[in-house]
């Protein structure tokens, strides 16, 4: 009871802070932060201040405690459930999942198979519930959120196996789900973005069926190389460099095996034949550069890509729907890209279009 009351008080405090006039929010957040030619948005900077005040962090000693802490964080900034959406649990060939159906979509709707983030260690159907609701309503798609097995109880490649299974099950059971099997996209954030890209490549290797589209938010694509963005933003911007090491050590503790293309999809020699993609990165994110490198490599292989850097945001922004405005704006852009991509279908174009 005490914990619930504290969380409720913190959530009310966060809403009150974001409701302040902009000058007062700026005083609370502090001086603008500018790094690498980018200025952190006031919404994101205030989020980091409130995170510090509340004592929230992405990693807390053990996986169990980290999972609990993430669920608390969701209640602070996730927002009220977005409606109208019908939600029901399904069994995707042994993999638990949750199907979101927004009001007004027909029985031949497109589907997004969504893989939640959390470093393959934390995160759940609940942690990304409102994100899935938002995408369902704003992209006019059904969403199948996949509860893949987590490390360290189930290390690599268990998450990959579950993710592939869920996608194949969705396509095979299109009639029962009321979806168009030719318009099944994959998507996810961070570790979930990694899994979505890996599923796409595994389907290329298997000869199909292929996802119709990839919706990738700040995906982890290479566990072997430390890039410049990790040095610039590896501390103080929600996801830290130490967090990344912690997650990878639980998911694949053998560093020599991180070259596996099911772990580091950026290392795949030939990405031709991959589905069209929207690759979103956050400017103040240690994962920024590897996500953008993956978008560039897709484009070089002839895959249609939109590369969208949300230069003023931080890792995790698709989950911060209950506070401010900037986070919803960024997710709205992605929902539009998903809807357009599914309507247009695969279109051959080798260039990267950078969203402004």
Full set of structural domains in the chain with CATH: 82-354 (3.40.50.1820)
Task: Please tell me which residue in 162, 285, 289, 312 is annotated as part of the active site.
Answer: 285
Question: Which residues does residue 111 pair with via DSSP β-bridges, in sequence order?
Answer: 142, 184
Pull the structure tokens for residue 345. 């279908």
Q: How much is the pLDDT for 348?
A: 38
Q: Is 3 helix (H, G, I), strand (E, B) or coil?
A: helix
Measuring CA to CA, which residue among 170, 79, 56 is closest to residue 129?
79
* Residue 101, CA distances (Å) to 69, 84, 133, 321 in order: 28, 9, 8, 19
Q: Tell me the per-residue pLDDT of 129-157, one tens digit each, with 9 for 90 and over.
A: 999 999 999 999 999 999 999 999 999 99
Our answer to whether residue 36 is catalytic in this structure is no
Determine the average pLDDT of the residues in 326-347: 90
Q: How much is the pLDDT for 3?
A: 58
Q: How much is the pLDDT for 57?
A: 87
Determine the average pLDDT of the residues in 58-80: 90
Q: What is the DSSP annotation of 221-253?
A: --SS---HHHHHHSSSSSS-HHHHHHHHHHH--
Our answer to whether residue 190 is catalytic in this structure is yes
Q: How much is the pLDDT for 56?
A: 82
The pLDDT of residue 356 is above 70: no
Measuring CA to CA, which residue among 48, 194, 170 is closest to residue 116?
194
At residue 72 the predicted structure's pLDDT band, cuts being 50, 70 and 90, is confident
The pLDDT of residue 199 is above 60: yes
Residue with tokens 């995790």: 316
Phi–psi pair at 108, nearest 5 degrees: -130, 45
The pLDDT of residue 213 is above 70: yes
Q: How much is the pLDDT for 344?
A: 86
Question: Which of 51-65, 181-195, 196-210, 321-335 has the lowest average pLDDT?
Answer: 51-65
Measuring CA to CA, which residue among 124, 57, 121, 129 is closest to residue 87?
129
pTM of the model: 0.95
Q: Is 324 helix (H, G, I), strand (E, B) or coil?
A: coil
DSSP character for 89? Answer: E
Our answer to whether residue 75 is catalytic in this structure is no
Task: Please tell me which residue in 190, 200, 229, 264 is annotated as part of the active site.
Answer: 190
Q: How much is the pLDDT for 6?
A: 65
Task: Write down the mean pLDDT value for the chain.
Answer: 94
Determine the average pLDDT of the residues in 163-186: 98
The pLDDT of residue 347 is above 60: no
At residue 2 the predicted structure's pLDDT band, cuts being 50, 70 and 90, is low
Residue with tokens 């983030």: 117
At residue 350 the predicted structure's pLDDT band, cuts being 50, 70 and 90, is very low
Distance CA 48, CA 265 (A): 30
Q: Which residues contact 268 (CB under 8 A, 6 or more apart)?
A: 201, 261
Beta strands across the sheet bearing 142-146: 85-92, 95-102, 142-146, 109-115, 179-189, 214-217, 277-284, 305-314, 352-354
The pLDDT of residue 169 is above 60: yes
């Amino acid at each position: 009871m005490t914990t619930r009351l504290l969380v409720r008080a913190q959530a009310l405090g966060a809403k009150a802070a974001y409701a302040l006039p902009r000058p007062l929010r700026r005083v609370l957040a502090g001086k603008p932060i500018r790094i690498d030619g980018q200025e952190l948005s006031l919404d994101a900077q205030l989020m980091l201040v409130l995170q510090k005040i509340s004592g929230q962090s992405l990693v807390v000693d053990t996986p169990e405690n980290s999972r609990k802490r993430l669920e608390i964080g969701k209640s602070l900034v996730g927002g009220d459930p977005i409606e109208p959406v019908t939600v029901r649990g399904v069994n995707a060939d042994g993999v638990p999942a949750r199907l979101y159906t927004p009001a007004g979509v027909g029985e031949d709707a497109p589907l997004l198979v969504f893989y939640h983030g959390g470093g393959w260690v934390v995160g759940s159907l609940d942690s990304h519930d409102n994100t899935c609701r938002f995408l369902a309503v704003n992209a006019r798609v059904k969403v199948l959120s996949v509860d893949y097995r987590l490390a360290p109880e189930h290390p690599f490649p268990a998450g990959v196996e579950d993710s592939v299974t869920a996608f194949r099950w969705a396509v095979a059971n299109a009639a029962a789900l009321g979806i168009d099997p030719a318009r099944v996209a994959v998507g996810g954030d961070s570790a979930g973005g990694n899994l979505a890209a890996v599923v796409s490549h595994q389907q290329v290797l298997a000869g199909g069926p292929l996802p119709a589209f990839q919706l990738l938010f700040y995906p982890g694509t290479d566990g072997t190389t430390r890039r410049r963005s990790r040095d610039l933003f590896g501390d103080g911007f929600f996801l830290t460099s130490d967090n990344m090491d912690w997650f990878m050590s639980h998911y694949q503790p053998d560093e020599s095996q991180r070259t596996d293309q099911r772990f580091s999809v950026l290392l795949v020699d030939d990405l031709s034949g991959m589905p069209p993609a929207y690759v979103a990165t956050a400017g103040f994110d240690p994962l920024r550069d590897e996500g953008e490198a993956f978008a560039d490599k897709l484009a070089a292989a002839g895959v249609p890509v939109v590369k969208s850097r949300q230069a003023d945001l931080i890792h995790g922004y698709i989950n911060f729907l209950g506070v401010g405005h900037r986070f919803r704006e960024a997710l709205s852009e992605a929902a539009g890209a998903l809807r357009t991509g599914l309507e247009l279908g695969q279109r051959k174009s080798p260039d990267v279009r950078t969203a402004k």
